[in-house]
Every structure is written in C-alpha cells, then in structure tokens.
Structure 1
Amino acid sequence: MRVGYIRVSTVDQNTVRQLDGIQVERTFTDTASGEDTTRPKLDEMIAFFGDGDTVLVHSMDRFARNLDDLRRLVRTLTGKGVRVEFVKENLVFTGEDSPMATLLLSVMGAFTEFERALIPERQRGHRRGQTAWRLHRA
C-alpha cells in the first residue's frame, strides 16, 4: 500500500502541496512541530504499516528536524519492511541500503538540521533589516 505522510506546523499551513499529484491510498496528517516526534498520526502510521508498504513524504524536514530522529524513524519503518520515499530529495530507503544510501541519508539529514538552525537567525536579520529601513525613512 502507498501511504502519504504530511506534517504542517500550524493549522494555517496548506497540506495539499506536499503530495500534490502523487497517488496514495491513505494519508496521515499531523499538525505539530517537526521537533516533536510524539506525533499522533506519525505513531498511528508506524503501527499501521506492514511489510511491502511504502510511505511517501514530501521532504525530510517534514518528517524530522534533526538527524538522529530522521535516522531513527527511517530505521523503524524499514525494519518493518516499509519503503520510505522522500519526494523532494528523490531518495528511497528500503532497509537493504548500501553504504551510499546511508551516507545520503546522513548528509541530507544534516543539511535539513542545519537549515532548520538557520531559520531563527534569518528571521532576526530580516526584522533588523526592517527596523533599519524604517529608521532610515524617518
């Protein structure tokens, strides 16, 4: 069975674009922070899966926000015989992964974690820029 997993941080975020155009038989959607790995629909999805199923996730940052959680989730699912596909990164993990697949999961997961760490810094810089622009205009 092909199943989609969608996570949004707020109820205002759009879930449609995450798996737009991808055929799945069922979708599990969580509204929660990516830092929180005790997400009800994620837990339900993990319990639901069986050998030969596939989960499709838009991108790694929708699944986990740090490398340790990402590895654990992928390992948990592939250990149950589930194929894990990250659409944006075009990566597939089956549990019979090569050293290259392990490296790609680690590197791409590290980039996801790094990008997440930069977001607050960018937001602070953007706010400072707006303040400077307002002061300059005054």
Structure 2
Amino acid sequence: MSGQRLGYIRVSSLDQNTQRQLDNIQVARMFTDKASGKDTKRPQLEELLRFARDGDTVLVHSMDRLARNLDDLRSVVQKLTGKGVRIEFVKENLVFTGEDSPLANLKLSVMGAFAEFERALIGERQREGIALAKKRGAYRGRKKALTAEQAAELARRAVAGEPKAALAREYGISRETVYQYIRHLAQ
C-alpha cells in the first residue's frame, strides 16, 4: 500500500481524553473531532473525507467513533472505500477496502446496528433519569443562557427590528434560542 496512514478520533465532549483511542499507532495525520456522533456533520470528519486519497488507510478506534447509526456508518465507509481508501477499525479488528466479501459487509451491518442500538439505549436511559429526577423535584433543566435582564433587552431589540442573526451572534446564542426568548417573553 503506497498511501498515508490517517487516524480519526472522536469524543463526545471537550473534556474527554482522546489519547486512548489510537494510542501507540503511528499515523501521518490525525483528524480529531470533539462532537456528538449523532450525525456526520463534524468538521474533522468532513476534512478527512476531503483529504483521504486512493491508497490511504484510515484507522479508527471503533465503529461507534466513526458513526452512531448504521446508515451514516455505511455512507462514510462507502465514501472512503469508493475513493480507494482502506478503513481499519482497531477494536473490532475489521478492515474494509471496497472489495469486501458478503461476510465483511454483514459484519459492518451487524456491528453498526449494535452501535445504533447502544445510542438509542443511552437516550432512553437519559430520558428515564430526567423523568425520575423531575418527579423528585431534583431536575431543574439546563441553565438559562441569558439573565432576565438580557432576555428582556434581547426581545425589545428584536421587536424593534434588529436582525435575529446579529442578535444571536452578539449574545452568543443560536437564532432558535433568540426566537424562544421572544416567544417566552411574549406570553
């Protein structure tokens, strides 16, 4: 194989450690995302997909680091192998080249389905935990992005016609959050 060895690492939050995923594996370039795996809209994954060339090998710790649902996993694997890129999943000890056997494709589907199932279970447990905490009165929800004074000022300026996108940037919130504050204060 004449190409480069490229690594891809993903952790879900900024404070998680990326070191253990491809520890002691030599690569020419590492692509690291600190983002949810719920979809493939991740800056470093997108950069990897643009950067990888025919003959390269992409090393990923495990399938669930690349994608959390079967459709996304298949799509990313097909995009890479379609360019002549080899993908190695270290933990599962699986390799995909685009010229894979029916058994290799079955393994990809089964392992990908388990990653998707695991994500669904995590979400279900989280919802159950929140519901129980609400019953106990222990769940307060997410901390508000703006103080009451900031929210009132934001709503006043939005009603006066200032662009919602500009307000969102200024206050460091999303446009949807701007609209939520406006709706909440209008009630």
Gaps of 5+ in 2: 137-187
Taking the TM superposition and a 5 Å limit, the aligned residue runs for 1:1-138 are 1-123=4-126
Task: Tell me how far 1:123 sits from its aligned partner.
Answer: 4.4
Gaps of 5+ in 1: 133-138
What is the rounded CA distance, in whole Å, between the counterparts of 1:105 and 1:87 in structure 2?
Answer: 13
What is the rounded CA distance, in whole Å, between the counterparts of 2:25 and 2:83 in structure 1?
Answer: 23
What is the rounded CA distance, in whole Å, between the counterparts of 2:20 and 2:129 in structure 1?
Answer: 26
Q: In the alignment, which residue of structure 1 is the partner of 2:139? A: none
C-alpha offsets along residues 38-97 of structure 1, whole Å, 9 cap, x if unaligned?
Answer: 111111111111111000001111100100000000000000000001111111000000
Q: In the alignment, which residue of structure 1 is the partner of 2:163? A: none
Work out the percentage of aligned pairs sharing the same amino acid: 73
What is the rounded CA distance, in whole Å, between the counterparts of 2:55 and 2:66 in structure 1?
Answer: 20
What is the rounded CA distance, in whole Å, between the counterparts of 2:129 and 2:39 in structure 1?
Answer: 26
Paired residues in the alignment total 131
Flag the structure with more relative contact order, 1 or 2, with Cα contacts below 8 A and sequence separation at least 6.
1
SS of match in other structure, 1:17: coil
SS of match in other structure, 1:21: coil
Task: Tell me how far 1:111 sits from its aligned partner.
Answer: 0.7
RMSD over aligned CA atoms reads 1.8
Q: Report the structure number with the largest CA radius of gyration.
A: 2
Task: Tell me how far 1:125 sits from its aligned partner.
Answer: 6.2
> What is the TM-score when the length of structure 1 is the normalising length?
0.87
> What is the TM-score when the length of structure 2 is the normalising length?
0.65
